[in-house]
Amino acid sequence: MVNFSLVLLFITLFTGIIWIINYFNWPSQNSIEILDKKIINLNIFKKTIQFLASIFPTVMIVFVFRSFFYEPFQIPSGSMMPTLLIGDFILVKKFAYGIKNPINQNMLISTYKPKRGDIAVFQYPKEPTLNYIKRVISIPGDKITYNAFSKTLKIIPACKNQKNCNNLLQITYTNIKPSNFFQTFSKDNNFYQNFESEIVDSSIFNTRKETIGKITHDILISKTIGDQVDLYYHQPGQPQATWIVPEGQYFVMGDNRDNSSDSRYWGFVPERNFIGKAVFIWMSFEKQENMWPTGIRLNRIGSIE
């Protein structure tokens, strides 16, 4: 996969060099005239230098803004429904979890750490070239248990030994009610919000509100599809579906609980993998996975809660 940050850095450096050449009027007029007679057309050469020099400030601003402040991402799947939908274009606050080297993601200046309830973009631990977006559910030291039948969480903060494993974090749920969302399995195992021609099976979701501490958000629960508990990541020394989050790592889940490949299945996210916090939807297209957009959802533009 192409490292876009590296490509943008190369373009910034290249146009910066051209800008310097243009600013100091190098090569000299005499040398250009000599080159003109032997190799190139003088006017084309001049215009090319001036054009490349003119775009340098814009490229530099884009590189700095994208690397250290905000970066745009597109939501490609339904794992964060109903909070984020396929076709949403979001801005991710890059400095939310520290200022990092945009090329290798090494920490330059530490700021804040991920918190429970944050919607975060991170490099998938098993394949760092892929970016995932999930909700941070548990932070280092938490003991978390997920009940795959009631589809509820239990979190005990700072559970590093048996003496500290008694104080449950307050987690509440509203009553389950029907939703308008659909999960559709196509022949290539994609998930869609609406029915498609290549349907193999489908299910309608229920919804409820989940409150973890002071953070409340909507989650989706399938009426007919359950978790594959036998495929859960098994942490040594812990029962099935129970995990203690190690230092420097986090437990994440999708809001679409029955359609999300997350920490339940592949384990924890190291802190160094976090890219930033999703904060704003700047555009939203009515679309389905791997399909062309069919409209614009203007009502979705705004802050992400």
Catalytic residues: 79, 134
Contact assessment for residue 282 and residue 90, using Cβ atoms and an 8 Å cutoff: yes
Three-class SS of 194-218: CCCCCEEEEEEEEEEEEEECCEEEE
> In the block, which residue shows the tokens 């700047």?
282
Contact assessment for residue 52 and residue 78, using Cβ atoms and an 8 Å cutoff: no
DSSP secondary structure code for residue 256 in this structure: B
Under the banding of pLDDT at 50, 70 and 90, the label for residue 300 is very high
H or E element: which one contains 244?
Answer: strand 242-244
What are the tokens at 242? 């129970």
Residue 226 has pLDDT above 80, yes or no: no
The neighbour count for residue 43, using CB atoms within 10 Å, is 9
What is the value of pTM for the model shown? 0.83
Please list the helix, strand and coil fractions of the chain in percent, rounded to the nearest 5, in that order: 25, 35, 40
Which superfamily is assigned to 75-169+223-303 in CATH? Umud Fragment, subunit A (2.10.109.10)
Q: So what's the pLDDT on residue 194?
A: 41
C-alpha of 51 from chain center: 35
Quick one: what percent of the chain has pLDDT higher than 70? Answer: 84
Separation of alpha carbons 79 and 264, rounded Å:
13
- The pLDDT of 269-283, averaged and rounded, is 95
Residue 164 has pLDDT above 70, yes or no: no
Contact assessment for residue 281 and residue 133, using Cβ atoms and an 8 Å cutoff: no
Domain ranges of the chain: 4-70, 75-169+223-303
pLDDT tens digits, 66-96? 888 899 999 888 899 999 998 999 999 999 9
Contact assessment for residue 253 and residue 154, using Cβ atoms and an 8 Å cutoff: no
- Sequence-separated (6 or more) residues with CB below 8 Å from residue 229: 148, 240, 241
The neighbour count for residue 278, using CB atoms within 10 Å, is 25
Q: So what's the pLDDT on residue 107?
A: 80
The neighbour count for residue 14, using CB atoms within 10 Å, is 13
- The pLDDT of 34-41, averaged and rounded, is 52
pLDDT tens digits, 183-200? 555 544 444 344 343 444
Separation of alpha carbons 69 and 13, rounded Å:
20
- Range among 199-208, 233-242, 285-294 with highest mean pLDDT value: 233-242
